[in-house]
Amino acid sequence: MAAALRSIQLIQLPRGVIDALAAGDLDGANRQAPLELTEHFSRDRQPLWRIRSAQLQEHPGDAVWITRAVYDPELRRAVGLAGFHGPPDDAGMVEVGYSVDPAYRRQGYARAALEALLAVAAQEPSIRVVRATISPDNEASRRLVEQYGFVANGEQWDDEDGLEIIYEVDAGEEAGSGG
C-alpha cells in the first residue's frame, strides 16, 4: 500500500542559491536561501546545479521551471528537490526530475513531488507530454512513474547518470491517477 500523500510545497530557489550550490558552497547557498538546505542539496548534486546555473545564465526565464526545494511545512524543512529540466520544448514535452533526501525516503515525498509536477503540467496548455528518465536499477522510481501511467518507450545514455530508461505519459491524463 502506498504511503499517504504528503503535503509539500515546491519552493523556487533564487539564482544566487543555485550559483552557490553549483560552486559547492552549501553555506553560501543557505545564507541566501528562503529555507535551510541540507547536505542532500550539495552532496552528489553539484553537477545538477552546474547545469542549472549555466542554463539560467543563458535563459533566465527558465527559473520558474527548474529544480526547486521540496518543503514539508509540517516538519518545516526541505526534504528533497524536484522540478522540470526546463520549459516545454517545441513538441510540448517537459522532463521531470526529483530526489528525496535519504533520511526522508519511503515516506511519500517522491510521490507528492511527482503529483505536484504533474498537476503543473496538466494546467499548462503548452505541455502535451511529460517525460521521466530513470536508471534501470532505480526500481522504486520506476514503479512510481508506472503508477501514474508513464510508459517506457526507449533508452538513452546520459553523461552524468549513465543508462536511463525513457518513460512518457500524456500531460493531463496522469495527475491524480496514481496509487
Q: State pLDDT tens for residues 23-82.
A: 999 999 999 999 999 999 997 899 999 999 999 999 999 999 999 999 999 999 999 999
Cα–Cα distance measured from residue 131 to residue 158, given in angstroms and rounded to the nearest whole number: 15
pTM of the entire structure? Answer: 0.90
177: pLDDT strictly greater than 50: no
pLDDT-based confidence at residue 173 (cuts at 50, 70, 90)? low
User: How far is it, in rounded angstroms, from Cα 123 to Cα 12?
Assistant: 18
Question: Any residues with CB less than 8 A from the CB of 40 and at least 6 apart, and which?
Answer: 78, 80, 81, 99, 101, 102, 103
